């Protein structure tokens, strides 16, 4: 007999980040999104780097976009900050700084702990958003 309660196990931050790193190192999906640690000596696992390859049949086709992600000490309770290192024309990205504006990107605006910074969620969602944006 199981209990009907809604007890949920909360995975500690570092375990969560280690799981995300492992998924990133194995590769995700079709290879158009990848990510990993920016600095192997970062014991807090805060600085990450990501790559998104522009989807086919879009203005971003064939382009390679580099991103920096910062998972602060409050992650995953709070979303990571995301900054494109490569210039990209997306409505949720500040043209000058390359920062993804949380209020303009639904996944960051409506962040939940169960979402993740890895390719299957945040980076994958950014990749998907490339299909809906205007031409460069």
Show Cβ contacts of residue 61 under 8 Å, excluding neighbours closer than 6 positions. 54, 55
pLDDT greater than 50 at residue 134:
no
* CA–CA separation, 88 and 86 (whole Å): 6
Two structure tokens written together for 85 = 């290192």
Which pLDDT value is given to residue 121?
76
> Taking all residues of the chain, what is their mean pLDDT, rounded to a whole number?
85
Domains of the chain: 20-131 (3.10.110.10)
Two structure tokens written together for 43 = 């014991």
Rounded mean pLDDT, 3-14? 73
Nearest to 136 by CA among 61, 69, 43: 61
Cβ(50)–Cβ(66) below 8 Å: yes
Nearest to 130 by CA among 47, 78, 56, 28: 56
Tens-place pLDDT, residues 93-132: 999 999 999 999 999 999 988 877 654 578 888 888 876 5
Its pTM stands at: 0.82
Which pLDDT value is given to residue 132?
54
* CA–CA separation, 3 and 18 (whole Å): 30
Which pLDDT value is given to residue 133?
43
* CA–CA separation, 54 and 60 (whole Å): 5
* CA–CA separation, 86 and 127 (whole Å): 14
Tens-place pLDDT, residues 32-73: 888 999 998 999 999 999 999 998 888 899 899 999 999 999
Tens-place pLDDT, residues 60-69: 998 999 999 9
End-to-end CA distance of the chain: 59
Which pLDDT value is given to residue 68?
97
Two structure tokens written together for 80 = 């990571």
């Amino acid at each position: 007999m199981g209990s009907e309660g809604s007890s949920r196990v909360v995975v500690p931050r570092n375990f969560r980040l280690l799981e995300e790193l492992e998924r990133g190192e194995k590769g995700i999906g079709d290879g158009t999104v990848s990510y990993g640690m920016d600095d192997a000596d970062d014991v807090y696992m805060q600085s990450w780097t990501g790559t998104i390859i522009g989807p086919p049949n879009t203005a971003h086709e064939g382009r390679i976009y580099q991103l920096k992600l910062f998972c602060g000490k409050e992650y995953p309770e709070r979303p990571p900050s995301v900054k494109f290192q490569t210039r990209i024309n997306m409505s949720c990205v500040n043209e000058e700084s390359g920062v993804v504006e949380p209020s303009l990107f639904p996944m960051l605006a409506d962040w939940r702990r169960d979402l993740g910074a890895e390719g299957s969620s945040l980076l994958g969602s950014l990749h998907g958003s490339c299909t809906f944006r205007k031409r460069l």
